[in-house]
């Protein structure tokens, strides 16, 4: 027993001595965590350099866009072919993807040799060989009669400009085919395939094997957004935010970036870590000075590194009694499979080591075997460490892109070194988790990543193309041509004329209501005025002080009161009693209950006026539905309510539309302002019309402001050709079906609802939210127009769009967010264009009425849609310019048209009244 212990002690001591000897000898290959964190930081800097347009040309890590924009979502289906060139063998695959709810697929493959004369010959021979192998495969599988999409896995650095176009930058590994570098490899493959008239293949996607690995794993695990290969060569890819990829147009969504990390350090960035053995190996390689990181990591080189180390140690008398064999002097004699076998655990590893060394005509002692085994460990461990550092950099970038403190993600991984080496995977996982403790990483082994992956990329491309067609079809009716917009402008012009003429006014959809506002401010207005503003869910009371002369100014004091839904949709008496209650509170608040002040009442609903202080409600809009009001004079109803309260008295001078108030506010600043536009909850326009054109009002002298109430445009069916099924659904579900059709296509109250209807339709078609219509999406009004403005903001990343959708109870993917943003854009752009077409009709009419070739005019504008939406104002202005090129239109933002404007109208009416009395 003692003898056994003694023997064990002797062996352990022997082992320790040999390990220490090798550790000292290969000190520079043993990397601490501090060194690895430094490598990680260097790699992060190289990634940023590779993504930048200006810095990419000098970057070693090329960060090549793959044009793969989407991961599998489980709905892919169909039959695909894939070919895989890049490893030690060439492979052809047939992949069937089933949409059976189980995300199942079937793979059948055939392996073909990669003869040296082909992989180091000329380009035409290489692609003819690939085509011949494919034809053979299709014959074997009885597929020649089918037209099939093909994915091409090409595991070399390519600069892609499209999914199916890639120019080879350089050969790597043991490939060196003449005449292929700097040419499009897909085009070469297509040419070779065209020689075979008996097959019909459509090359849809060029895929790097690393991207294929990510896509294969992404099919099984939706969290997978990184792919890594550690085999003959090494590389990594990951999903990057488009906004960071300067090399590709567009900021929306994500794209898979093929890092080509094998070239990291080609600029000398890793020289402090490279040993004399790395330099010697590089000098003897096919591509000296290139792929230096790969040469420290990948299976093609690790065996050779071990050979060079053993050779030098032997020459120095540290191994094999200093006796060098011919085999040890021969390049390539130690391969990765030997390193893996020698690193097997315990006695099996040592036994393998002895056997391998003996085959190399070396006669190892026990000490030699222990030392050689440890050399292999240090070389392969360094490989895993360096790989982990670069992968940790990618994971950190992903986490920072998502603005997460902690991230769960999956890394799809493939490659012979990772799969067959007994310790490699465990070492890599351990180091990655140590370097990025705030990332919970799952490592998922890819099954036939490079082949199945190419088919998955092709399947996703196929799915996206089909989805794209369906989305385009849904949004096509929202894309209005210039010709269509001209038609809308001309129809609006016709309706404007109908509304002004006595015989057609009654049946006109654009009511062209006279406001009896006959002038704009001239700067002499002064005094204290009250203004009321009713037009939405809030009601305001204002005190406005106007000063004239050199110290001309307008001071305002106001208070906002809510109007509950039960009042909005109760009785007329309740509504006006509530308004008077609010006025009483304000007068008390300001301490002016005793003063009989002139009052302007902004009433933002269609009214037929018989004078400036008489307004009969034509019909409620914007969600109001109080009874016993339509057909009644709202000024009389307000006076009656004041009388019922019997607390104060007011001089109601003018009933005002908010659009007129907007024009007057801007007219106070700019005398050229003769048009008012509201683009907010509702949509409307007013303008100064020549009295001689207003047949429904007596008199031909001067001008009067006409409140067009253009929201009703189209109620006679004249724009039915541009109304979509979604517009009809919104109209049918509204409080006033068949009314205000133009407003329902252009105003803030309805745009969100149109978007919701489209999203429901796209979800039903399986194009959004995984085909699941959530409870929140079923709720009418959930998608407020303010969300359109937020989602369409250029400053908003898709991550923030996803957060907005999550607030609405919509669990969206990145792809969903892009589609939602596109839908919002289509709906709001059409609204702005339709608004612009209507406005162009009015400015053109003004120009013709004045009889001038060029018109200079200002439009006063108000409304949240115009003010807050990131693109609405620009699109509207561009449309007006396009449709009315002879009009130079200035757009001026109104400052409180409904409050200040009402007071100014009251002041102008008082001024004109006083002039009339004199």
Task: Please tell me the predicted confidence (pLDDT) of residue 783.
Answer: 84
**Measured at the alpha carbon of residue 722, what is the angle toward residues 720 and 726, in degrees to the nearest 5?**
90
Task: Please tell me the predicted confidence (pLDDT) of residue 407.
Answer: 95
Please choose, from the candidates 748, 746, 766, 70, the residue with its C-alpha nearest in 3D space to the C-alpha of residue 474: 766
The phi and psi torsions of 80 (rounded to 5 degrees) equal -135, 150
CA-to-CA distance for 710 and 704, rounded, in angstroms? Answer: 17
User: Predicted confidence band at 771 (pLDDT cuts at 50, 70, 90)?
Assistant: confident
The phi and psi torsions of 479 (rounded to 5 degrees) equal -90, 105
Sign of the four-CA dihedral 306, 309, 311, 317: negative
Q: Is the pLDDT of residue 791 over 90?
A: no
Helix (H), strand (E), coil (C) string for 453-479: HHHHHHHHHHHHHHHHHHHHHHHHHHC
Q: What is the CA radius of gyration of the chain?
A: 39
Task: Please tell me the predicted confidence (pLDDT) of residue 101.
Answer: 63
SS3 65: strand
Tokens 């043993």 belong to 30
CA-to-CA distance for 601 and 654, rounded, in angstroms? Answer: 6
CA-to-CA distance for 37 and 110, rounded, in angstroms? Answer: 43
Per-residue pLDDT reduced to its tens digit, 365-423: 999 999 999 999 999 999 999 999 999 999 999 999 999 999 999 999 999 999 999 99
pTM score, whole prediction: 0.73
User: Predicted confidence band at 811 (pLDDT cuts at 50, 70, 90)?
Assistant: confident
Mean pLDDT on 655-675: 90
CA-to-CA distance for 221 and 329, rounded, in angstroms? Answer: 47
Tokens 């390990």 belong to 19
CA-to-CA distance for 78 and 465, rounded, in angstroms? Answer: 14
Strand 89-98 with 104-113, pairing:
antiparallel
Say which DSSP state 771 is in.
G
Mean pLDDT on 611-626: 88
Mean pLDDT on 506-510: 92
Sign of the four-CA dihedral 367, 368, 374, 378: positive
Mean pLDDT on 337-350: 89
Q: Is the pLDDT of residue 451 over 80?
A: no
Task: Please tell me the predicted confidence (pLDDT) of residue 663.
Answer: 93
Per-residue pLDDT reduced to its tens digit, 513-545: 898 888 878 778 888 888 898 877 788 999 988
Task: Please tell me the predicted confidence (pLDDT) of residue 16.
Answer: 72
Task: Please tell me the predicted confidence (pLDDT) of residue 400.
Answer: 94
Mean pLDDT on 875-890: 97
Sign of the four-CA dihedral 213, 217, 222, 228: negative
Task: Please tell me the predicted confidence (pLDDT) of residue 471.
Answer: 94
CA-to-CA distance for 382 and 390, rounded, in angstroms? Answer: 13
Say which DSSP state 326 is in.
H
Task: Please tell me the predicted confidence (pLDDT) of residue 10.
Answer: 46
Q: Is the pLDDT of residue 621 over 50?
A: yes
Task: Please tell me the predicted confidence (pLDDT) of residue 114.
Answer: 85
Please choose, from the candidates 799, 729, 732, the residue with its C-alpha nearest in 3D space to the C-alpha of residue 764: 729
Mean pLDDT on 885-911: 86
For residue 858 the two structure tokens come to 């200002």
Look over the chain and give the mean of its residue pLDDT values, rounded to a whole number: 89
Please choose, from the candidates 575, 420, 892, 901, the residue with its C-alpha nearest in 3D space to the C-alpha of residue 707: 901
Residues in the chain: 918
Give the up-direction half-sphere exposure of residue 206: CA atoms within 13 A in the CB hemisphere. 27
Which residues are known catalytic residues?
Answer: 540, 604, 658
Q: Is the pLDDT of residue 6 over 50?
A: no
Q: Is the pLDDT of residue 87 over 90?
A: no
CA-to-CA distance for 759 and 453, rounded, in angstroms? Answer: 31
CA-to-CA distance for 556 and 546, rounded, in angstroms? Answer: 9
CA-to-CA distance for 51 and 571, rounded, in angstroms? Answer: 64
CA distances from 523 to 668, 669, 899 (A): 7, 9, 18
SS3 309: helix
CA-to-CA distance for 731 and 711, rounded, in angstroms? Answer: 13
Q: At what angle do helices 449-475 and 209-220 cross, to 10 degrees?
A: 70
Task: Please tell me the predicted confidence (pLDDT) of residue 7.
Answer: 42
CB 134 within 8 A of CB 92: yes
* DSSP3 helix / strand / coil % (the chain, rounded to 5): 50, 20, 30
CA-to-CA distance for 352 and 698, rounded, in angstroms? Answer: 112
Q: Is the pLDDT of residue 817 over 50?
A: yes
Tokens 């000329």 belong to 122
Q: Is the pLDDT of residue 15 over 80?
A: no
Strand 407-414 with 224-230, pairing:
parallel
User: Predicted confidence band at 4 (pLDDT cuts at 50, 70, 90)?
Assistant: very low
Q: Is the pLDDT of residue 3 over 50?
A: no
SS3 322: helix
DSSP symbols for 244-305:
G-TTSS--SSEEEEE--GGGTTTTSTTTTT--HHHHHHHHTSSSTTS-TTHHHHSHHHHHHH
Please choose, from the candidates 510, 538, 480, the residue with its C-alpha nearest in 3D space to the C-alpha of residue 739: 510
Per-residue pLDDT reduced to its tens digit, 671-724: 899 999 999 988 999 999 999 999 988 888 889 999 999 999 999 999 999 999
Sign of the four-CA dihedral 170, 173, 175, 176: positive
Task: Please tell me the predicted confidence (pLDDT) of residue 5.
Answer: 46
Q: Is the pLDDT of residue 454 over 90?
A: no
């Amino acid at each position: 027993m003692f003898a056994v212990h003694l023997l064990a002690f002797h062996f352990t001591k022997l082992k320790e001595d040999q390990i220490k000897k090798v550790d000292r000898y290969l000190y520079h290959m043993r990397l601490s965590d501090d060194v690895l964190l430094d490598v990680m930081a260097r790699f992060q800097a190289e990634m940023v350099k590779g993504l930048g347009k200006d810095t990419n040309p000098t970057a070693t890590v090329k960060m090549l866009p793959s044009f793969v924009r989407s991961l599998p979502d489980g709905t892919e289906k169909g039959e695909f072919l894939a070919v895989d060139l890049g490893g030690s063998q060439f492979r052809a695959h047939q992949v069937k993807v089933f949409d059976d709810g189980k995300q199942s697929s079937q793979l059948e493959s055939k392996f073909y040799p990669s003869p040296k004369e082909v992989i180091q010959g000329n380009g035409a021979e290489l692609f003819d060989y690939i085509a011949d192998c494919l034809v053979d495969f299709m014959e074997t599988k009885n597929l020649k009669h089918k037209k099939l999409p093909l994915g091409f896995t090409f595991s070399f650095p390519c600069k892609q400009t499209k999914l199916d176009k890639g120019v080879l930058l350089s050969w790597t590994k043991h490939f060196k085919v003449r005449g292929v570098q700097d040419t499009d490899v897909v085009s070469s493959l297509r040419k070779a395939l065209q020689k075979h008239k008996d097959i019909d293949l459509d090359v849809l996607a060029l895929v790097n094997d690393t991207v294929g690995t990510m896509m294969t794993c992404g099919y099984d695990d939706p969290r997978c957004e990184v792919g890594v290969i550690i085999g003959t060569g090494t590389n990594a890819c990951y999903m990057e935010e488009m906004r960071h990829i300067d090399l590709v147009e567009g900021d929306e969504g994500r794209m898979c970036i093929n890092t080509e990390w094998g070239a990291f350090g080609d600029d000398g960035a890793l020289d402090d870590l490279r040993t004399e053995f790395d330099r010697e190996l590089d000098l003897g390689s096919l591509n000296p000075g290139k792929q230096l990181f790969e040469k420290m990591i990948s299976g093609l080189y690790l065996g050779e590194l071990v050979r060079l180390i053993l050779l030098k140690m032997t020459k120095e008398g540290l191994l094999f009694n200093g006796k060098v064999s011919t085999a040890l002097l021969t390049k390539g004699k130690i391969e990765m499979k030997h390193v893996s076998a020698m690193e097997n655990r315990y006695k099996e590893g040592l036994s393998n080591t002895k056997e391998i060394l003996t085959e190399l005509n070396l006669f190892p002692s026990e000490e030699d075997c222990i030392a050689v085994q440890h050399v292999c460990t240090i070389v392969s461990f360094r490989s895993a460490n360096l790989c982990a550092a670069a992968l940790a950099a990618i994971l950190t970038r992903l986490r920072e892109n998502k603005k997460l403190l902690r991230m769960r993600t999956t890394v799809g991984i493939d490659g012979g070194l990772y799969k067959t080496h007994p310790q490699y995977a465990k070492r890599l996982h351990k180091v990655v988790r140590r370097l990025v403790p705030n990332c919970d990483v799952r490592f998922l082994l890819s099954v036939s990543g490079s082949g199945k992956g190419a088919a998955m990329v092709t399947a996703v491309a196929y799915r996206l193309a089909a989805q794209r067609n369906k989305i385009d079809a849904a949004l096509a009716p929202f894309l209005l041509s210039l010709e269509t917009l001209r038609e809308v402008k001309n129809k609006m012009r016709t309706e404007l004329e109908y509304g002004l003429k006595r015989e057609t006014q009654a049946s006109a959809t654009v009511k062209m209501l006279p406001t009896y506002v006959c002038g704009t401010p001239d700067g002499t207005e002064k005094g204290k005025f009250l203004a009321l503003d009713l037009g939405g869910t809030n009601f305001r009371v204002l005190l406005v002080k106007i000063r004239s002369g050199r110290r001309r100014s307008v001071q305002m004091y106001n208070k906002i009161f809510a109007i509950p839904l039960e009042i909005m949709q109760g009785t007329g008496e309740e509504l006006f009693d509530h308004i008077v209650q609010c006025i009483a509170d304000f007068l008390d608040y300001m301490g002016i209950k005793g003063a009989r002040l002139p009052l302007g009442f902004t009433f933002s609903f269609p009214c037929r006026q018989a004078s400036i202080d008489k307004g009969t409600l034509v019909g409620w809009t914007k969600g109001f539905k109080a009874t016993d009001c339509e057909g009644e004079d709202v000024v009389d109803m307000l006076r009656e309510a004041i009388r019922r309260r019997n607390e104060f008295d007011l001089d109601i001078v003018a009933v005002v539309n908010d659009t007129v108030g907007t024009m007057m506010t801007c007219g106070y600043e700019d005398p050229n302002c003769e048009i008012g536009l509201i683009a907010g909850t509702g949509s409307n326009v007013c303008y100064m019309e020549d009295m001689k054109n207003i047949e429904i009002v007596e008199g031909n002298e001067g001008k009067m402001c006409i409140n067009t109430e253009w929201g009703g445009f189209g109620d006679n069916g004249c724009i039915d050709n541009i109304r979509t099924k979604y517009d009809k659904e919104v109209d049918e579900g509204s409080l006033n079906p068949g009314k205000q059709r133009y407003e329902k296509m252009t105003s803030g109250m309805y745009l969100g609802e149109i978007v919701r209807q489209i999203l429901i339709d796209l979800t039903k078609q399986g194009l959004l939210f995984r085909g699941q219509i959530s409870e929140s999406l079923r709720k009418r009004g959930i998608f407020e127009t303010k969300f359109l403005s937020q989602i369409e903001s250029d400053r908003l990343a898709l991550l923030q769009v996803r957060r907005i959708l999550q607030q609405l109870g919509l669990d969206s993917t990145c792809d969903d967010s892009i589609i939602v943003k596109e839908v919002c854009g289509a709906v709001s752009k059409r609204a702005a264009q339709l608004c612009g077409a209507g406005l162009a009709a009015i400015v053109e009419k003004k120009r013709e009425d004045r009889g001038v070739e060029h018109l200079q005019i200002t439009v006063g504008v108000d409304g949240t849609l115009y003010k807050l939406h990131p693109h609405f104002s620009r699109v509207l202005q561009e449309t007006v310019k396009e449709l009315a090129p002879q009009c130079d239109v200035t757009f001026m933002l109104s400052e409180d048209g409904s409050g200040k404007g009402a007071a100014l109208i009251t002041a102008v009416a008082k001024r004109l009244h006083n002039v009339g009395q004199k």
